């Protein structure tokens, strides 16, 4: 029987409501599907963005090798400029092979329990168990880390300039990237014992892990070698040995400054909102340190020394590297100002008190300012960041973070010193560490590498005169 009239009317009134209901449900389903798809797409974009950003930062840090080469070549003599360039090239090449084969596994591989707190042992040659972080692929994370390993290695080159056998330096380059540097990385960035303390040791981008390791190794390398001929008088007074190309040195400083924007912001290991602030503190500290170093030298000597101003810039960049994510721009200026003073006094202390010949000031710039930069986190960290750092002493946070920083500094200093002393002693006893006096006076370019750094008419040099007859026979040989 057909439905009655009232029933048909009720159906007619109900039909539009059902259609609206179905439309709302379909719209909601489509919106949910679209939102989920958009979220997936957004996450995929972020993953790709993180990887591209960190790879670009790795390239910037690798390009710092060119900056180090120019600084070192400019601050030393023209007769060994090709040797300087070769050492910086081989730092990266030897370091990359050593870090790929063994160093990366020691730094990041395996469990962080037991002995794993001190040394890793998994993921050799980026094989099974190779570690990565966050959204980064293993190859991208490795490229960023190998750039840092090469930086730690190349710091030493300048301190040992103009008197080191190339084969000796080649041996050293393998050792630091194979074992010395990776063990320190393990303790912190690899999740080891310093990171596991109740108040973790904090070194965001490597004032201690990279720069202090390089600076301490540079000190022991220069000490094992002894000074260049003519550097010190009979009474121990240091003599100035002029740079052969100040433009090289300052161009190198500019390249290093650009590279530092990969070094520090890249250590965020992601393309996120924090990288801008990190870039600001990096800029503030470097610029302030350059100004203060210039002012200190100007007041003391009557002239604004170009080379020391460049070293001031680098000193500020080194000092802020540990705390670039933890301090305010105002604190970065203070850290930079302190670094500017430390580098000037540090260079003098190394030469005049310790009697160590460091042609480019690497010990003061990287060793001393790296030490200060790590300690500064314990003083200037602006607030607590759970799992990363605690508020600094000068901001009312108590001494906990400063104590952790000092523990880490002591451990790095002892480990690096012991290993560097052993390394250079073995090299000295086997292949030999230093060239002969005649070779040093003639320069290392032709004798070590078979080619001059400059063609005929480009770049000349005068052998440094010996003091009180020291090396007279070598000079006679050089002149004959």
Question: Does residue 10 surpass a pLDDT of 60?
Answer: no
Assess if residue 341 is contained within a domain.
yes
CB-based contact 98:177 (threshold 8 Å): yes
**CA neighbours within 13 Å on the CB side: how many for 459?**
20
Assess if residue 463 is contained within a domain.
no
Mean pLDDT of 186-214: 98
The pLDDT > 70 percentage for the chain reads: 87
- pLDDT (tens digit per residue) in 213-246: 999 999 999 999 999 999 999 999 999 998 999 9
Assess if residue 284 is contained within a domain.
yes
- pLDDT (tens digit per residue) in 370-429: 999 999 999 999 999 988 999 999 999 999 999 999 999 999 999 999 999 999 999 999
> What's the pLDDT score for residue 136?
97
Mean pLDDT of 246-267: 98
Assess if residue 172 is contained within a domain.
yes
Mean pLDDT of 280-293: 98
**Could you give the C-alpha distances from 109 to 95, 298, 304, in angstroms and in order?**
18, 49, 48
Q: Which residue has the higher pLDDT, 86 or 18?
A: 86
- pLDDT (tens digit per residue) in 24-72: 454 544 455 556 667 788 899 999 999 999 999 999 999 999 999 999 9
Give the C-alpha separation, 381 to 400, whole Å. Answer: 12
Q: What is the CATH number of the domain that holds 289?
A: 1.10.3430.10
Q: Label each residue of 85-145 as H, E or C.
A: HHHHHHHHHHHHHHHHHHHHHHHHCCCCCHHHHCCCCCCHHHCCCCCCCCCCCHHHHHHHH
- pLDDT (tens digit per residue) in 120-170: 999 999 999 899 999 999 999 999 999 999 999 999 999 999 999 999 999
The DSSP 8-state label assigned to residue 320 in this structure reads H
Assess if residue 198 is contained within a domain.
yes
Confidence tier at 457 by pLDDT (50, 70, 90): low
CB-based contact 99:125 (threshold 8 Å): no
Assess if residue 73 is contained within a domain.
yes
CB-based contact 259:63 (threshold 8 Å): yes
Give the count of beta carbons closer than 10 Å to the beta carbon of residue 341. Answer: 17
Assess if residue 15 is contained within a domain.
no
Alpha helix locations (H) across 160-273?
Answer: 166-175, 181-187, 213-225, 246-266
Q: In terms of residue numbers, what domain contains 255?
A: 55-443+445-449
Tokens 């801008």, residue? 276
CB-based contact 377:202 (threshold 8 Å): yes
Tell me what the pLDDT averaged over the chain comes to.
Answer: 90
Assess if residue 462 is contained within a domain.
no
Confidence tier at 186 by pLDDT (50, 70, 90): very high
> What's the pLDDT score for residue 386?
87
Number of domains in the chain: 1
CB-based contact 193:187 (threshold 8 Å): yes
């Amino acid at each position: 029987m057909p439905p009655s009239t009232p029933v048909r009317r009720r159906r007619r009134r109900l039909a539009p409501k059902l259609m609206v209901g179905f439309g709302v449900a379909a719209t909601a389903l489509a919106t949910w599907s679209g939102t989920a798809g958009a979220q997936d797409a957004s996450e995929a974009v972020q993953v790709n963005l993180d990887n591209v950003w960190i790879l670009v930062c790795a390239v910037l840090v690798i390009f710092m090798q060119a900056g180090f080469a120019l600084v070192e070549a400019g601050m030393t003599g023209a007769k060994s400029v090709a040797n300087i360039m070769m050492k910086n090239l081989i730092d990266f090449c030897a370091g990359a092979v050593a870090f790929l084969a063994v160093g990366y596994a020691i730094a990041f591989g395996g469990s962080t329990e037991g002995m794993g707190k001190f040394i890793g042992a998994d993921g050799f040659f980026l094989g099974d168990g190779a570690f990565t972080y966050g959204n980064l692929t293993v190859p991208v994370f490795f490229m960023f880390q190998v750039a840092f390993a090469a930086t730690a290695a190349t710091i030493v080159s300048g301190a040992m300039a103009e008197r080191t056998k190339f084969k000796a330096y080649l041996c050293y380059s393998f050792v630091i990237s194979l074992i010395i540097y990776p063990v320190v990385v393990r303790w912190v960035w690899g999740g080891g014992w310093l990171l596991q303390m109740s108040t973790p040791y904090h070194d965001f981008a490597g004032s201690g892990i990279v720069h202090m390791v390089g600076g301490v190794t540079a000190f022991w390398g220069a000490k094992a070698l002894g000074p260049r001929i003519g550097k010190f008088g009979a009474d121990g007074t240091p003599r100035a040995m002029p740079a052969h190309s100040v433009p090289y040195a300052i161009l190198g400083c500019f390249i290093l400054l650009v590279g530092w924007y990969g070094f520090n912001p890249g250590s965020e290991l992601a393309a996120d909102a924090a990288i801008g602030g990190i870039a600001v503190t990096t800029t503030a500290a470097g610029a302030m340190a350059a100004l203060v170093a210039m002012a200190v030298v100007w007041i003391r000597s009557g002239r604004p020394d170009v080379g020391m101003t460049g070293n001031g810039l680098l000193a500020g960049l080194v000092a802020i590297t540990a705390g670039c994510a933890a301090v305010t721009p105002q604190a970065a200026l203070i850290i930079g100002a302190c670094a500017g003073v430390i580098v000037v006094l540090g260079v003098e202390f190394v030469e005049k008190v310790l009697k160590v010949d460091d042609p480019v000031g690497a010990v003061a710039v990287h060793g001393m300012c790296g030490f200060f930069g790590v300690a500064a986190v314990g003083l200037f960290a602006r607030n607590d960041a759970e799992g990363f750092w605690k508020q600094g002493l000068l901001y009312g946070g108590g001494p906990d973070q400063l104590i952790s920083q000092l523990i880490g500094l002591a451990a790095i200093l002892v480990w690096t010193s012991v290993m560097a002393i052993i390394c250079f002693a073995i090299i000295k006893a086997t292949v030999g560490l230093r060239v002969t006096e005649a070779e040093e006076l003639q320069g290392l370019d032709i004798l070590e590498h078979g080619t001059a750094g400059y063609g005929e008419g480009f770049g000349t040099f005068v052998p440094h005169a010996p003091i009180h007859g020291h090396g007279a026979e070598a000079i006679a040989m050089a002149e004959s």
